[in-house]
Structure 1
Amino acid sequence: MNKITIAIDGFSSTGKSTVAKQLAKHLGYIYVDSGAMYRAVTWFAMQNNIISKEHFYIDKLISNLHNITISFIFNDSLGFAEVYLNGKNIEKQIRTLEVSSFVSQIAEISEVRELLVKQQQKLGEKKGIVMDGRDIGTVVFPKAELKLFMTASPETRATRRFNELISRGDKVNFEEVLHNVQERDYIDSHREDSPLIKAEDAIEIDNSTLTLDQQFQKILQLVESKLENCK
């Protein structure tokens, strides 16, 4: 059976990872959360006093990139791969609002993007992969057979993110989360290196009013159509 590459891009909190995991599980494909890789570098920078609200030592980060090893290890009980930094599981640590507040700054650094894009492209050499992020269809897999661009209103995305953080026990307020969503949108869309843009051949999915099941079924139809055409 032919396998394809599925590239999912879009703004933060549009459910990219959720639908990517669903597709990968349904198709028996590899799932890679590219955003988690940037979050892992961000966590490394935070733990090593490279970035904070007061400072960002870019040269120090670049000189330490060789000390960063990111891997994904599948967790059978969860049904998806968790992120490991230098052999340590940091899946929970990288999902905080604090990490979110710095990750777009980290992702702006060309040396960071170059390192991670190479790793991402290597993971997709044999196809049969679903990867989500900000530049998957434009930079990482420009020849992907199926490209999707996920979007929703900032308020809708902030509400989703707020509920997710609250359910985990994080102490946040809605305005703080909305500000973070809007700030990340601006930085991601305006950075010089690989800005967040919709690929010309990407199919836009606005899921503001879609349930998770409606979204999955809509995208699955696109996947099945593409697989049929690739026979």
Structure 2
Amino acid sequence: MNSRGIIIAIDGVVGAGKTATAKLVAEHLGYRHIDTGAMYRAVTLAATRGDVDPGDLPALQTLLAKLTIDLQPHEQGGRVLLNEEDVSEEIRRPEINRKVGSYANIPQVRRALVAEQQRMGLSGGIVAEGRDMATVVFPGAELKIHMFAELAERVDRRHREMMEKGVSISKDQLRADIEVRDIEDAERDYGVTSVDAQVTDIDTTAMTLEGQVEHIVELARKNGA
């Protein structure tokens, strides 16, 4: 067992269950959960509020220099603070979902957030989930997971999530949004996912949330957690 705790890096497609699974895995192990996707959403929200276009790099860099993003544990799910304001719900709205890829693909944004994520992981004992976790952010992680699922299942999951939050959106719109995000991920030129023999692929299509958590916790135990 690693006394400081290992680093578990979870990557994967939109709607594969990364966030919910990572949060519960962290709870089981007594680790810190780092939702890196929430950090990119927070930047997107700040840019949207400030009317900063993704193509306006000088304005975007000025914005980044003024932002503080804090991820805090909470009994009802992690809280995301943007300049000390709780934006946990606002960053999950459909309009932010549709825009986040445009900002997350900007190298200056990714470099800034990757540096912060790596700082968070210095002491180990974390479950970090989001894009590029195993290939760019934590290439030396003791356990690397790539989660995926069939498109129809991902749409259903995201639709249930939106309904539970009181957000009205059709499955057709969600499908279109997810397909766009998939294309953006496939075409981006920063931190493109590479083949890594150390990455464990998990198809979550037919798995329950509990099953996903149990499987990853078992893998973590085998890798020193």
Normalising by the smaller structure, the TM-score range is: over 0.9
Partner amino acid, structure 1, of 2:190 = D
Match of 1:202 among 196, 199, 217: 199
Q: Helix, strand or coil: the match of 1:50?
A: coil
**Partner amino acid for 2:84?**
G
Q: Which range is displaced more, 159-168 or 195-204?
A: 195-204
1:4-47 CA distance string (max 9 Å, x none): 10000000111111111111111111110000000000000110
Whether the 8 Å contact between 1:9 and 1:198 is mirrored in structure 2 is no
**TM-score, normalised by the number of residues in structure 2:** 0.94
Match of residue 126 from structure 1: 123
1:20-77 residue CA offsets vs partner (Å, 9 max, x unmatched): 11111111111100000000000001101124xxx853432123210111011222x3
SS of 1:45's equivalent in the other structure is: helix
Residue 155 (structure 1) aligned to one of 136, 144, 152: 152
| Partners of 1:205 and 1:128 in 2: CA distance | 22
Is contact 1:6–1:131 with CA below 8 Å preserved after alignment? yes
User: What are the within-5 Å matches in structure 2 for residues 135-214 of structure 1?
Assistant: 135-197=132-194, 199-214=196-211
Equivalent residue for 1:83?
Answer: 80
After TM superposition, the structure 1 = structure 2 runs for residues 1-231 of structure 1, keeping only pairs within 5 Å, are 1-2=1-2, 3-51=5-53, 56-75=55-74, 77-78=75-76, 80-197=77-194, 199-227=196-224
Per-residue CA deviation, residues 174-197 of structure 1 (Å, 9 max, x unaligned), is: 110001111101101211111345
Decide whether the 8 Å contact of 1:149 with 1:198 is kept in 2: no
Deviations 1:88-145 (A, max 9, x none): 0000000111101011110111110010001000000011010000101000100000
2:163 and 2:155 map into 1 onto residues whose CA distance is 12
Identity across the alignment (%): 36
Q: What's the secondary structure of 1:227's corresponding residue?
A: coil
Whole-Å separation in 1 of the counterparts to 2:214 and 2:154: 20
- How far apart, CA to CA, are the structure 2 residues paired with 1:199 and 1:62? 33
- Output the CA distance in 1 between the equivalents of 2:215 and 2:25: 11
In structure 2, stretches of 5+ residues that fail to align are: none
Runs of 4+ aligned structure 1 residues displaced above 3 Å come to: 55-59, 196-200
Q: Is the 8 A contact 1:149 1:202 kept in 2?
A: yes
3-state SS of 2:34 partner: strand
Q: Is the 8 A contact 1:162 1:172 kept in 2?
A: yes
Q: Which amino acid aligns with 1:67?
A: K
* Count of aligned pairs between the two proteins: 223
| Local SS of the residue matching 1:7 | strand
TM-score by length of 1: 0.92
